[in-house]
């Protein structure tokens, strides 16, 4: 499933009443350690994300990026350290009851048996946010428009390109009206032009919505296009953290090697 669905109180009316209230939440991570068997993966992550910020976590393959995201949404429990989301521990059911956290997994993970519109509206229907289908459809149309996919609600996912599927996955996450949105490698497996359209979607959302956004990626071109701030993870630790300009100028040779190997194009994504 491409979307992390927090457990919510059963009363549909409550879900409906709270749906329009969105509070960007901050993330506070201190001393986070996690090992799998005898393999240390997270080795003391320190990271504070203020509400409303768009942070990109960069790093090579296997450095712990996806593991870190799974800890932030509370799918995994740290061996040591704390992860607070909006002041509540990520693994505390109260966090999931209080905040809506959306995650876009690396595989867009759409349900192939459902139309685009049904995929986007699924969370609203499951949580009985609205009393009628008409209101669900209105939100679905609006979210599809936000990602530049007007008029696609009746299509089946199998007919879409990779970039379109990714945008549907983003629209589906937005249908939750999330307080925090997490993306795992949103441009992986997409060619550079399509990646730029995804970057542009994220930039547009940043301007329109007051959301805390955390994007994990090894794609520096996207990172420099969308980030308020960039942190680099290496061997399970944050080794650089600052503005895009500060990261570019960071003296750490591991950072410089990563940047050189990626040969990023620093310009903003193309606006159609
Ligand atoms: N459930 C797991 N069990 C054992 N090892 C894991 C598990 N999840 C991740 N790992 C290991 O942790 C390391 C970091 O993984 P991951 O966070 O997926 O890397 P990436 O930075 O590419 O997203 C990898 O070596 C991976 O094999
Ligand atoms: Mg990963």
**In terms of pLDDT, which residue wins out, 108 or 93?**
93
172, 3 Cβ separation under 8 angstroms: yes
Tell me what the pLDDT averaged over the chain comes to. 91
**Residue recorded with tokens 């320190």:** 46
* Contacts for 103 with CB less than 8 Å, ≥ 6 apart: 2, 3, 4, 69, 73, 173, 181, 182, 183, 184
Q: How many domains would you assign to the chain?
A: 1
pLDDT tens figures, 118-142: 999 999 999 999 999 999 999 999 9
Is residue 244 in a domain? Answer: yes
Question: pLDDT tens, 230-257?
Answer: 999 999 999 999 999 999 999 999 999 9
Residue 32 domain boundaries: 12-262
- Give the model's pLDDT for residue 15: 64
pLDDT digits (tens, 9 = 90+) for 194-204: 999 999 999 99
Atom of ligand 1 nearest to the CA of 70: 17
Higher pLDDT, 95 or 11: 95
pLDDT in the model for residue 266: 52
- Residue closest to 19 by CA, chosen among 110, 107, 128: 128
Q: Which of 119, 102, 121, 103 is nearest to 111 (CA)?
A: 119
Residue in 32, 45, 65, 67 to alter for ligand 1 test, most ligand atoms within 8 A of Cβ: 67
- Position 10 confidence tier, pLDDT thresholds 50, 70, 90: very low
Indicate whether 129 belongs to any domain.
yes
Ligand 1 centroid distance, CA of 264 (Å): 25
* pLDDT above 50: residue 271: yes
Query: Helices in 175-252 by DSSP H: which ranges?
Result: 192-208, 220-226, 244-248
Q: 272 lies in a domain?
A: no
Give domain status of residue 2, yes or no: no
Whole-number pLDDT of residue 164 = 95
What is the Å distance from ligand 1's center to 62 Cα?
6
Domain presence at residue 91:
yes
| Ligand found nearest the CA of 68 | 1
Check whether 1 has a pLDDT greater than 60.
no
Q: Do the domain assignments include residue 5?
A: no
Asked, for residue 122, whether it belongs to a domain, the answer is yes
- Ligand 1 pocket, residues with Cβ under 6 angstroms: 36, 41, 59, 61-67
Residue 60 Cα to ligand 1 midpoint, Å, equals 12
Which is nearest to 213 in space by CA: 41, 108, 232, 201? 201
C-alpha 67 – ligand 1 centre gap (Å): 6
Determine which of 4-8, 52-56, 65-69, 135-139 has the lowest per-residue pLDDT on average. 4-8
Residue nearest to atom 19 of ligand 1 (CA): 62
Are 164 and 152 contacting, i.e. CB atoms less than 8 angstroms apart? Answer: yes
How would you class 193 by CB atoms within 10 Å of its CB: exposed for 0-12, middle for 13-18, buried for 19 or more? exposed
CA angle 130, 152, 227 (to 5 degrees): 85
Please tell me the predicted confidence (pLDDT) of residue 257.
95
Residue 270 inside a domain? The answer is no
Q: Whose CA is nearest to atom 16 of ligand 1?
A: 64
CATH of the domain at 54: 3.40.50.300
Share of the chain above pLDDT 90, in %: 81
Q: Whose CA is nearest to atom 5 of ligand 1?
A: 36
Bridge-based pairing of strands 54-58 and 212-217 is parallel
**Nearest-10 Cα torsion for 31, 37, 40, 41:** -80
């Amino acid at each position: 499933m491409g979307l992390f669905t927090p457990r919510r109180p059963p009363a549909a009316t409550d879900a409906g009443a709270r749906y329009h209230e969105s509070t960007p939440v901050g993330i506070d991570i201190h001393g986070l350690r996690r090992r799998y068997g005898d393999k240390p993966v997270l080795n003391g992550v320190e990271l504070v994300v203020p509400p409303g910020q768009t942070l990109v976590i960069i790093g090579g393959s296997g450095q712990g990026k996806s593991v870190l995201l799974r800890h932030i949404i509370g799918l995994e429990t740290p061996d040591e350290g704390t992860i607070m989301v909006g002041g509540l521990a990520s693994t505390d059911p109260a966090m999931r009851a209080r905040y809506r956290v959306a995650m876009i997994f690396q595989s867009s993970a759409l349900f192939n048996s459902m139309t685009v519109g049904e995929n986007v509206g699924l969370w609203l229907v499951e949580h009985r946010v609205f009393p009628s289908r008409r209101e669900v459809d209105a939100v679905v149309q609006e979210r599809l428009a936000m990602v530049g996919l007007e008029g696609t609600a009746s299509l089946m996912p199998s007919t879409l390109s990779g970039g379109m599927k990714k945008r549907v996955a983003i629209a589906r996450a937005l249908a939750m009206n999330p307080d925090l949105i997490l993306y795992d490698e949103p441009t992986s497996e997409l060619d550079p032009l399509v990646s730029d359209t995804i970057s542009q979607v994220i930039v547009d959302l940043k301007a329109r919505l007051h959301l805390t956004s955390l994007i994990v990626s090894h794609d520096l071109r996207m990172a420099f296009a969308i980030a308020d701030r960039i942190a680099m993870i290496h061997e399970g630790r944050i080794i650089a953290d600052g503005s895009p300009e500060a990261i570019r100028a960071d003296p750490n040779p591991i950072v410089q090697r990563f940047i050189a190997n990626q040969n990023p194009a620093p310009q903003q994504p193309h606006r159609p």
